[in-house]
Structure 1
Amino acid sequence: MLKIIEKTKIWFTMSLIIMLIGAGFMIYRGGLNLGLDFKGGTQVDIKMPKDFNKGDVDTIVKKYAEDAVTNTVSETVDGSANEVQIEIKSKSLDSTKVSDMFKELSEKYSLKQDALVSHDEIGPSIGNELTSSAIKALAVAVVAMLIYIAIRFEFKFGIAAIIALFHDILITLSIYAIFNIPVNSPFIAAILTIIGYSINDTIVIFDRIRENQRSMRRNTPIEIADHSLTQTFTRSLNTTLTTLLTTTAVNIFVPSVREFAFPLVVGMACGAYSSIFIASPVWVMLKNRTSK
């Protein structure tokens, strides 16, 4: 039988270290790296030859905007096999700089005038409104899940599940802070998706704990939790690996949805970890405190 609950301090310490490192980077950098959706800026889409050198393009782009991020989005919309479309995002590009940058790229790669697919000035379209809506959605989801779990199981299970959810969110935010990854609107959608995925895995484990409480009444909460985790560990691991492999493949091979897929990869891994190593130990702590 796995001895997971006995090593609770190790699991909590690992998560706390990541959160503290993330908090340190946030303080050092003055917060998260908010993308164009939150702060506004410029987005330019350009058709490039399929054999272009991304390093050379980055060098040219950085001359006009040091904060620019260049991504290869996909093959062109018209399906041309010899062209790909790149996306350039920056908070400091203006029309003059875009014109000069496109001219230099055109001279280097012999681009046609219609290679400049789009040039959009993006205002802070999301800003406070989307942030407020996301927080409200998160609050409603948390309250609804707490009520459901409290009715279906018991209130201690609900508290443990909510703590695990906040753990997943904080770890994901910490990863973004550590690696200075831009936070855009797909990130908000990914966070809400992660919550649903994580709570599903947690409920499966809690359901087994509830069943074992009836047949193991003479055992301690630690023994019940360890036995339940041993029974569900393989199932949780296989489910997580299957989902992670699929999402990771999407993140690697479909660049156009990478801003949504990457936080999913991080969040799903955190969700599987928290369901086993955070939610269950928290339930044991609450159970022991009630007994005392």
Structure 2
Amino acid sequence: MVTALRRISNVFKLRIGVAITLCAIAGMAATPGTSLSPEEIAVLAFAVFLSSASAGAFNQYAERDLDARMHRTRNRPFVTGVFKTGWAWLSCIVGILVFSVALAAWVLNAHVALYVFLGAFFYGVVYTIWLKQRSVWNIVIGGLAGSFAVLAGAAAVTPHLAASSIILALVLFLWTPPHFWSLATVLREDYARAGVPMLPVVVGDATAAWIILAHTVALAGFSLLPVFFGMGYVYLAGAVAGGSYFIIKSVELVREPGPKAARANFRASFVQLGLLLVAAIIDGALNF
């Protein structure tokens, strides 16, 4: 039973789904407008979580041949054959996405439903199918999935997006590349063997480290801007603490480019995002 649950969590990438859901709640909290009922907040979270899960499962379904060529992913259920590919799984994945979009449209509004769909589409199709094995820009454009989650949360409050929520969506867009490029530095040889043009594979660890630092500095800077559009001191504290820590680790990566510092920077990206999102949610609750 435990093994089966782990496989389901792996295929649907439920940990990523939790992070994406927090992005939506933070987008809601950062947006001035009509307050949502607890039931509406639950629907928003559930719809975004299901949409992310469907995109994660489609990613593993579509990439099973690629996953088989990589040490990190060669034991995923679609690779090993524990989960059989076919119409049953595809119908399940599409059904979950359709249900999540329909639920968002029915309980919330069409704008939320559109952003819920676009988040899954950009991760499942734009990133996974079109870009990942073709372009070094794969994760840059594919990273819009997190931004759409923020916009979904904001649109649940008002379809006319506020400046603070748009900036927060931009922050998520800037967060994804240094986060993933740090991981790609750790796994550079794995990606190289599989023929995936991740940034460190294409330009090397040292150049990638400088690009990661530049993105991190831009991310930290933009994360402060919502303070000028209504966010308070709790948000500011989270943005400053998380951004500073991420920059420090990115500087260390520039000084010693390689897997060890990249792994530390990858972890720092989670710290930065976690502090930012939790601070945004708390700040929104205090200003309620």
TM-score (norm 2): 0.29
Rg (Cα) greater in structure: 1
TM-score (norm 1): 0.29
Higher relative contact order (CA 8 A, sep 6+): 1
* Higher relative helix content: 2
